[in-house]
Amino acid sequence: MKKKGFQLLILSTMITLLTGCGTVSMYYLNDGVNKFPATSANKVMIFSEHTVPDTSYIEMGYVSVHVINVSSGDALKEATKKEAASIGADAVIDFRISGAGGIAGNYAVFDYRIYGLNAGGIAIKYK
């Protein structure tokens, strides 16, 4: 039993060292949306799940990021803004943060320091 725990510790450490603080991102664009030039991440606005901008917009698709060794929600917001800006979005609505987890033996483990956190929302473009 102790050997399995030690092996898990070594495996978790290796994964953390190999992936570092990197961001792995993905996004799914709606088929009918034109491709837009990249925008500045500093100008991308983040709106929580129950808040939307006062101006009309089109939904571009879902933007998602996964950050390991995250130290704050601000780091997740910045990573999401960067990904949204890369596809030309002006804002992200319905922004949410969720935990990532894994399986250790017979137990589910939710440790953001090892497995990271996920964040994302719907990228939009103002009309």
| 124 in Cβ contact with 57 (< 8 Å) | yes
For 33-47, write each residue's pLDDT tens digit: 668 899 999 999 999
Vertex 81, ends 69 and 87: CA angle to 5°? 120
Residue 111's pLDDT is 54
Mean pLDDT value of segment 3-15? 51
How far apart CA 86 and CA 101 sit, in angstroms, is: 27
63-118 pLDDT per residue, tens:
988 877 766 778 889 999 999 999 899 999 999 988 765 555 555 455 555 567 88
- DSSP-assigned beta bridge partners for residue 119: 65, 97
Query: Residue 79 carries which side chain, given as an amino acid letter?
Result: A
Q: Report how many domains make up the chain.
A: 1
Residue 23, pLDDT score: 52
Domain that holds residue 73: 2-126
